[in-house]
Amino acid sequence: MRTVFYITIIAGLFLSYSCKKEDIDDEPPVIDISGEDAFIKNCDTIYRGETFNFKATFTDNQELGAFSINIHHNFDHHTHTTEIEQCELDPPKEPTEDVFVFIESYDIPSGIKEYSPEISISVPSDVDKGDYHFFISLTDAEGWQTVRGLGVKILDR
């Protein structure tokens, strides 16, 4: 009789534990570049031989994970722009060996719901001028991802 009693209690605890609803994260994180001090924005210009600071605000309903920045040429007018505003493009051209490529990933400290990175990026003075993409990818701790694909130019000042 005691055995049946204990089995019933254990089964009841198991069922009540397994039926608890977990907080399921079904919302992707947000990349906000609308702030006054945010940089870079769609159709902005960065300059050869100078350093600029990437600034944005990242938020998530539960916990942020990591982000990456990918800057590469758009001389052939391919697209992964996510913005409504279309930037004015130079005529298509062939890339040279001197195109600017920047690909970096960054971890966000655990337990954070809002993060405002400030990343210094140096543009070499000898890179090919023209149209580039500035691609931001943000992932939350659960694995949801948001991307922003911006059109930018690299020019001489």
Let me know if residue 134 belongs to a domain: yes
Question: pLDDT at position 85, please?
Answer: 85
Supply the pTM of this predicted model: 0.83
Question: pLDDT at position 7, please?
Answer: 62
Number of structural domains found in the chain: 1
DSSP label at residue 93: -
pLDDT of 46 above 60: yes
pLDDT of 55 above 90: yes
What sign for the dihedral angle of Cα 85, 38, 81, 112? negative
Structure confidence by residue, pLDDT tens digits, 17-31:
555 456 788 899 999
What is the share, in percent, of the chain residues with pLDDT greater than 70?
Answer: 86
Count Cβ atoms within 10 A of the Cβ of residue 62 and give its class: 0-12 exposed, 13-18 middle, 19 or more buried: middle
pLDDT-based confidence at 83, cuts 50/70/90? confident
Task: Report, in this order, helix, strand and coil percent for the chain, each rounded to 5.
Answer: 10, 40, 50
- Rounded CA gap, 151 and 87, in Å? 6
Let me know if residue 110 belongs to a domain: yes
pLDDT-based confidence at 5, cuts 50/70/90? low
Question: pLDDT at position 25, please?
Answer: 84
Instruction: Give the range of the structural domain holding residue 109, as residue numbers without chain letter.
Output: 27-155
Let me know if residue 37 belongs to a domain: yes
Nearest to 95 by CA among 154, 156, 157: 154
Let me know if residue 12 belongs to a domain: no
Distances (CA, A) of 23 to 62, 72, 77, 143: 9, 38, 43, 15
Let me know if residue 5 belongs to a domain: no
Let me know if residue 123 belongs to a domain: yes
Please report, for the domain that includes residue 83, its CATH number.
2.60.40.3880
Mean pLDDT throughout 128-155?
A: 96
- Rounded CA gap, 93 and 74, in Å? 9
Let me know if residue 56 belongs to a domain: yes
Let me know if residue 66 belongs to a domain: yes
